[in-house]
């Protein structure tokens, strides 16, 4: 049996800027465009790993910041690595921890060396540097390692954003050097750089040039989905993906809603992650081809229809909206589990539909048709009332 390569990206078809292809790695192939469910603390919340795989996911995301604090990267390594620890035998991408340090912790000091912070769990002090981030991701056994960076909000002063971008590029070189010193792990894993520069085209061009000079297996578009809004995000994506190497995967971090994914694929993005489908499921929201549904809405109390008649998941094939409404209103954990399973399955069906449309040269028609149904208030209302039974 031929061994899979360490990392190989092949574009199989293009349609406009949209691309479909495959990433081959030692632990399996990743079909692109790809959506990565978020397994922050070695678990995709409310899901068993085998159930995540059954939705169609080829890869999941783990979080350096959370895992370094609990249970600890060294402990995970002693227990055989993150894959064995959580019983997931396919690729895992780990983020660098930089964004979580900035957003969750009590940040005490940011310097050229790295970031010193207090844990949001117990107040303990930690230092996270590019070198330590690479070490943690190595201990976890990550398949795709993310370079360490800083991610300022887009509304910060331009001079501050520029200085942050330049420091992130210096950190990218340090990440590259530390990753390459990782021995056997470096021989089997991949390293992605992260483009920064907020909404500014010239800053992102400089960032992309610096990343190209260093050289990475893939390139992430960072600094978006941090409050700037969809219009500004899409305006940035009109130029940012094209600044990155065409023959490498492009990963938009932390995105997003289904219409965000379709718009980003149209602009040349290949990979995504977001907590939205799992978080929404735990809070009573389901995504459907006709738009999102709030299962807390009383209109679903006697609705015998499935969440989505077009969805092929086991939840839609088994349970009614009325039952899911009941579980949600009663606060039963099964409701969160079933809605999460459906949402993840819907996201994977959406990615599969985009891959198919690109391969057939019909992506623009798919995009227009999807947004017409998904974004239509009438469509959402039809989805809410379809199958509703009158009280007996």
User: Are the beta carbons of 355 and 272 closer than 8 angstroms?
Assistant: no
Nearest Cα to Cα of residue 338 among 310, 317, 352, 361:
317
Quote helix, strand, coil % in the chain, to nearest 5. 45, 20, 35
Catalytic-residue membership of 95: yes
- 58 an active-site residue? no
Catalytic residue among 95, 200, 217, 260: 95
Distance (Å) of CA 94 to CA 90, 98, 233, 367: 13, 11, 23, 30
Give the C-alpha separation, 201 to 145, whole Å: 26
Q: Which single residue is written with the structure tokens 């960072």?
A: 222
Which residue is catalytic, options 149, 200, 217, 273?
A: 273
Q: Which two tokens stand for residue 173?
A: 């070189």
Strand pairing category for 250-252 and 218-221: parallel
Q: CA 21, CA 258: separation in Å to the nearest integer?
A: 20
Residue of 219, 279, 275, 277 whose CA lies nearest to 250: 219
Catalytic residues: 95, 273
């Amino acid at each position: 049996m031929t061994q899979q390569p360490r990392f190989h990206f092949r574009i199989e078809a293009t349609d406009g800027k949209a691309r479909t292809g495959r990433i081959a790695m030692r632990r399996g192939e990743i079909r692109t465009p790809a959506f990565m469910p978020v397994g922050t603390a070695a678990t995709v919340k409310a899901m068993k790993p085998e159930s995540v795989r059954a939705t169609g996911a080829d890869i999941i995301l783990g979080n350096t910041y959370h895992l370094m604090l609990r249970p600890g990267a060294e402990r995970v390594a002693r227990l055989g690595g993150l894959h064995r620890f959580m019983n997931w035998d396919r690729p895992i991408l780990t983020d660098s921890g930089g964004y979580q340090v900035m957003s969750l912790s009590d940040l005490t000091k940011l310097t050229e060396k790295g970031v010193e912070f207090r844990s949001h769990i117990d107040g303990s002090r930690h230092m996270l540097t590019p070198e330590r981030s690479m070490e943690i991701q190595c201990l976890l056994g990550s398949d795709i390692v993310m370079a360490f960076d800083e991610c300022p909000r887009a509304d910060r002063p331009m001079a501050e954003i520029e200085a942050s971008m330049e420091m992130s590029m210096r950190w990218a070189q340090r990440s590259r050097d530390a990753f390459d010193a990782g021995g056997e792990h470096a021989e089997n894993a991949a390293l992605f750089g992260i483009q920064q520069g907020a909404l500014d085209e010239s800053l992102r061009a400089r960032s992309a040039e610096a990343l190209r000079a260093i050289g990475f297996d893939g390139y992430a578009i960072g600094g978006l989905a941090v409050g700037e809004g969809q219009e500004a995000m899409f305006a940035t994506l009109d130029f940012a993906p094209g600044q990155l190497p065409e023959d490498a995967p492009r990963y938009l971090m932390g995105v997003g809603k289904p219409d965000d994914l379709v718009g980003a694929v149209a602009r040349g993005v290949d990979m995504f992650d977001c907590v939205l489908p799992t978080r929404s499921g735990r809070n009573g929201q389901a995504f459907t081809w006709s738009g999102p549904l709030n299962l807390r809405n009383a209109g679903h109390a006697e609705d015998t229809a499935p969440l989505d008649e077009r969805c092929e998941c086991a939840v839609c094939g088994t349970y009614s909206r009325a039952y899911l409404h009941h579980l949600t209103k009663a606060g039963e954990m099964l409701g969160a589990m079933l809605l999460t399973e459906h949402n993840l399955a819907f996201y994977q069906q959406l990615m599969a539909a985009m891959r198919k449309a690109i391969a057939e040269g019909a992506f623009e028609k798919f995009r227009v048709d999807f947004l017409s149904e998904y974004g239509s208030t009438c469509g959402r209302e039809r989805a809410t009332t379809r199958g509703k039974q009158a009280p007996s």
